[in-house]
């Protein structure tokens, strides 16, 4: 049976969660002063796009790598929803862009799925693994290829994504764009393969 202390703590935490999704910074500060735990409220603030609230909660000790639904982190949520300022806040608080959810997906997968190119680049600049595969063997480039997103695909290739990475079904991004009929992307991928082959051949000749 919950004690009076437990009930009081739960009440504080619930009010903080509610306030974190709204422009109620004074209420947030008051609840934290009274002892509310900030971590659970962080997900609400991030999901609601309340960057000021996110900042307050992080400064108050919210665990940046805490887990929400399907073990997603706050960075997963912000990356998928396209909240650039919140992504920066989380990364500045040392959020790990390579933490995975229950599906083995990183924040880079989340941003790629939603097509948020600036966030994708930011994550890569801050240490995201461009070659990381989720539990289905899918990389960020697989996602971009499936969506036919030319700008995102180009950006990922420029950062070194492999067009020949195979998922669990043996499909590569090149095969995906060819199968979907994305002609321009197929041409881009073939060009990348040719350049890669040429560089490999040149390296071999150099050491013969």
What is the rounded CA–CA span in Å between residue 201 and residue 208? 11
- The pLDDT value recorded for residue 198 is 39
> Residue 183: its pLDDT value, please?
87
- Whether 66 has a pLDDT exceeding 90, the answer reads no
Specify the pLDDT at position 187.
Answer: 87
Residues 6+ apart with CB under 8 A from 203: none
**What pLDDT sits at residue 191?**
84
- Averaged over 54-77, what is the pLDDT? 90
Q: What is the pLDDT of residues 7-58, one digit of tens each?
A: 889 999 999 999 999 999 999 999 999 999 999 999 999 999 999 999 999 9
Q: How confident is the model at residue 1 (pLDDT cuts 50, 70, 90)?
A: confident
State the pLDDT confidence band at 193, using cuts at 50, 70 and 90.
low
Q: If you average pLDDT over residues 115-123, what whole number do you get?
A: 98
Are 151 and 117 in contact by the 8 Å Cβ rule? The answer is: yes
pLDDT in tens, 130-142: 999 999 999 999 9
Whether the predicted pLDDT of 192 surpasses 90: no
Average pLDDT of span 164-179 = 91
Q: Which of 59-68, 149-158, 183-192 has the highest mean pLDDT?
A: 149-158
Predicted local confidence at residue 205, as pLDDT = 42
Say whether pLDDT at 61 is over 90. yes
Average pLDDT over all residues of the chain: 90
Tell me how far CA of residue 30 lies from CA of 27, 34, 43, 150, in angstroms.
5, 6, 19, 47
Structure tokens at 136: 């289905």
Cβ neighbours around 79 below 10 Å, total: 34
* 72-116 residue pLDDT tens: 999 999 999 999 999 999 999 999 999 999 999 999 999 999 999
CATH of 133-208, one of 3.30.750.24, 1.20.120.1200, 2.60.40.650, 1.25.40.20: 1.25.40.20
Q: What does the pLDDT read at residue 196?
A: 53
pLDDT for the residue 37: 94
Classify the C-alpha dihedral 110-172-136-181 as positive or negative: positive
């Amino acid at each position: 049976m919950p004690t009076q202390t437990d009930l009081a703590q739960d009440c504080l935490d619930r009010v903080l969660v509610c306030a974190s999704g709204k422009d109620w910074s004074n209420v947030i500060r008051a609840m934290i002063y009274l002892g509310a735990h900030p971590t659970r409220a962080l997900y609400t603030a991030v999901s609601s796009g309340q960057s000021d609230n996110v900042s307050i909660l992080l400064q108050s000790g919210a665990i940046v790598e805490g887990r929400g639904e399907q073990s997603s982190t706050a960075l997963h949520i912000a990356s998928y929803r396209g909240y650039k300022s919140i992504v920066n806040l989380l990364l500045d608080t040392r959020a790990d862009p390579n933490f995975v959810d229950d599906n083995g997906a990183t924040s880079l997968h989340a941003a790629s799925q939603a097509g948020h190119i600036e966030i994708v680049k930011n994550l890569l600049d801050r240490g995201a693994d461009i070659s990381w595969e989720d539990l289905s063997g899918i990389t960020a480039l697989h996602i971009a290829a499936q969506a036919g997103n030319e700008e995102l695909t180009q950006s990922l290739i420029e950062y070194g994504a492999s067009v020949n990475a195979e998922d669990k079904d043996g499909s590569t991004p090149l095969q995906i764009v060819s199968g979907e009929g994305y002609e321009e992307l197929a041409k881009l991928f073939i060009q990348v393969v040719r350049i890669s082959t040429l560089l490999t051949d040149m390296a071999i000749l150099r050491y013969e």
